[in-house]
Amino acid sequence: MQPNRKLTNVLKGRTIQAEAGDQGHVTITFQDGSTLKLKVAGQATVTAGAKVKAVHESGDQFQIDVEGGPSVQLRLADPGSSVALRDKNGAVEYLG
């Protein structure tokens, strides 16, 4: 899977605080107040307290590597239109 450098540069070092999911969506909140929203096909398990190391993405495959734990693996519902990261004030940090 290809590294997503743009998102890795933004997310690297942030610590996952919580994860919530409903039909077709996963929301990951980080300790700095930023929020990553993903439109997904299927489900994902996210470990709170894990620190992001890198992000990889190819087609509909999306993966967040974290320090000292298993990677978070997701299948995107619509590649290119499924990932949105906003900071604690709601400003766009990344879209893809």
Partner 1 sequence: MRLIWVVLISLSLGLPLFAQQPQPILPDPRLTPGDVFDVTAGDVCTPGYSRKVRNVPQSVKEEVYREYGITEHHRGEYECDHLISLELGGSNSIKNLWPQSYRTRPWNARVKDRLENRLHELVCSGKLDLKTAQQAIASNWIEAYKKYVGPEPKALGRPSEDERAEMAAPASTPAAAGQVWVNTRSGKYWRPGSRYYGKTKQGKFMSEGEAQKQGFQPAHGTGE
Footprint of partner 1 (CB under 8 A): 2, 4, 6-7, 37, 59, 78-81, 83-84, 91-96
Coil, helix or strand for 67? Answer: coil
> In whole angstroms, how close is the CB of 82 to partner 1 at the nearest point?
8
> In whole angstroms, how close is the CB of 49 to partner 1 at the nearest point?
27
**Separation between Cα atoms, residue 31 and residue 39, nearest integer Å:** 21
Q: Between 49 and 80, name the residue whose CB sits nearer to partner 1.
A: 80
Q: Between 32 and 67, name the residue whose CB sits nearer to partner 1.
A: 32
> In whole angstroms, how close is the CB of 80 to partner 1 at the nearest point?
3
Q: Could you tell me which of 60, 23, 64, 31 has the C-alpha nearest to residue 45? A: 64
Dihedral over Cα of 42, 78, 54, 56: its sign: positive
Tell me the residue length of the chain.
96
